[in-house]
Amino acid sequence: MSSEMATHLKPNGGAEFEKRHHGKTQSHVAFENTSTSVAASQMRNALNNLCDSVTDPAEKQRFETEMDNFFALFRRYLNDKAKGNEIEWSRIAPPKPEQVVAYNDLPQQESVEFLNKLAVLKLNGGLGTSMGCVGPKSVIEVRDGMSFLDLSVRQIEYLNRTYGVNVPFVLMNSFNTDSDTANIIKKYEGHNIDIMTFNQSRYPRVLKDSLLPAPKSANSQISDWYPPGHGDVFESLYNSGILDKLLERGVEIVFLSNADNLGAVVDLKILQHMVDTKAEYIMELTDKTKADVKGGTIIDYEGQARLLEIAQVPKEHVNEFKSIKKFKYFNTNNIWMNLRAVKRIVENNELAMEIIPNGKSIPADKKGEADVSIVQLETAVGAAIRHFNNAHGVNVPRRRFLPVKTCSDLMLVKSDLYTLKHGQLIMDPNRFGPAPLIKLGSDFKKVSSFQSRIPSIPKILELDHLTITGPVNLGRGVTFKGTVIIVASEGQTIDIPPGSILENVVVQGSLRLLEH
C-alpha cells in the first residue's frame, strides 16, 4: 500500500499518527506482499468506519488515537506473519553477568532522598473471573479482610508516613475495571496517599478468518473489544497525560508490578541501584523453580538483554527453554522504569515489542451458530527491555514474587506462614526453606468453593507439598506437615475432621479419617 493511500485512509485528526508512524509505514512497504497489503487496506477502512461512529469530539480524538495505535500493531503483525518472524535460536545465550545483577551485590545503603522521584504503578486491568469473582481482581479479599488494593494502599501510606514523602499511587485500569475501581478508591479519600488512574487502550478483536475487526461500531458489545496486554502501558501512560503530570511534579522513576503480586513492595536498595547505575529500565528476576518453567526469562541476544517468552520458542527447543540449568531466572514483572526514557521512546516511535497473538472464541450472536474464532494482538511490558539504555535484570529473593493467580495461591497467603505488617506479608522466620507447593484441584477453582470447603486455613508452617483433588472438606484446626496428598474418588467425598494432623500421608478413595 502506498504512502499516499495510507494518508487517504487515515481518519480525520490522524496527523499525530502520521508524524509518529510515517517512517515505519514506508520502511515496511518493501516487506509486504499483495495479501498483507490488501488486509492492511481493508483493516484501515474498517477502522475509519469505527471512528466515524463516534460523535463526541473529545471521545472521537481519543478513539482515533487508539485505533491508529492498533493499526500500527496490526500492520506489524501482518509483516511478521509474511516474513515468518521467528527468533533465531542459535543467537540466544544465557544472560551475561553484567545483564543480571545479584540482589546481595546491590548497595547496602538505603537512601530515601530518591523516594521523592518515585511513583508506584499497579496493573489493574484484570477481572477476577478465573477465580469465580465479579469485578476487578484487585478487590478480592486476600488477607485479614483486606484486598490486593487495600494492602498496596497500606504499604504506600506507611512509606509516605515513615519517610515524610508523597509517593503517588497510579493504577492502570482497563475498560473492564475502570468504573468499579473509581467507586472503590473513594474510600481512600482523606488518606495519606495520592491516587491517580488511567485506562489502557481498548482494541478491537480481529476475526481470524477475515482479518477484520469484530465490532461494527465504537459502542459494540464488550465482547468485541479487549485490553491489549500490559505492554500497552507505555502508550497509554503517555496518551492519558499522566506521564507528563508525574514529570511535572518531579517524579522520574516508576515501579510497576501486577496488582496480584503481594511481594512487589518498594525496595530502597533497588531504587538506589537504579539511580547509581543510570539504568533506564530494571527487570526483577527470581530463580526459576520447576513451578516456573513456563515463565518468561532474560536472555542475551547478540549482546543485548531481551525477554524470551515460551510462545516465541520453536517447538523443538521448548524443553531447553524450560531447563533450569540454561535459563536460571524468570521475569516477576516487577519493572522499574525511567519516565523521561519512556517519554522519549514513545515520542520517537521506538517501541517494537514482540506481538503475542492470543487466539480465543466468542459466543455466536444467535443460538445454533458456531462460536467465532478471533485473535487478540497483545504485548508484554517485559519485552520493552531492549529499547532502554543500560537496561538489565536484578536477581531478587523469592519473597518479591508472591502472586495470587489461583485459590492454591490464596491458601498460601492466608496461612500461618505469613504475618501482615504495614500491608506487607512477612514469612515466618521459623520456616525452613521456600514456601510449600500447593495444588488444589478443580473443586477449589472458585473462591466461593474454596471458602466453603476450607472454611479455616490449615496450619502449614512445616508443609512441603500439598495436593488435594476431588470433593474434599477440611475441618477447623487442621495441620499439614511434609508431603500430604488427598485424592477423593469420583462420586465420593473426603472429610478431614477438625484438629487432624496429617504428616507425610496419602489419603484416597472415600476414606474419612476418624482418628487423629
Catalytic residues: 405
| Collapsed DSSP state (helix, strand, coil) of residue 499 | coil
Is residue 484 within 8 A of residue 505, CB to CB? The reply is: yes
DSSP state of 407: H
Which grid coordinates belong to 83?
A: 516474513
Alpha-carbon gap, residue 177 to 425, rounded angstroms:
25
- Show the 3-state SS of 175-224: CCCHHHHHHHHHHHCCCCCCEEEEECCCEECEECCCCCECCCCCCCCHHH
The count of other CB atoms within 10 Å of the CB of residue 428 is 11
- Packing angle, helices 15-29 and 57-83, rounded to 10: 10
Q: What does R_g of the chain's alpha carbons equal in angstroms?
A: 25
Which grid coordinates belong to 199?
A: 485506562
- Residue for grid cell 504512502: 3
Start-to-end C-alpha separation, the chain = 75
The count of other CB atoms within 10 Å of the CB of residue 498 is 12
Q: Does 13 appear as a known binding residue?
A: no
Q: Does 137 appear as a known binding residue?
A: yes
Residues 6+ apart with CB under 8 A from 221: 215
| Collapsed DSSP state (helix, strand, coil) of residue 516 | coil
Q: Does 405 appear as a known binding residue?
A: yes
Q: Does 260 appear as a known binding residue?
A: yes
What are the start-end ranges of the E strands in 384-447? 392-395, 418-421, 424-427, 437-440
Q: Does 52 appear as a known binding residue?
A: no
Binding-site residue positions? 137, 200, 229-230, 260, 405
Binding-site residue positions for UTP? 137, 200, 229, 260, 405
Binding-site residue positions for substrate? 230
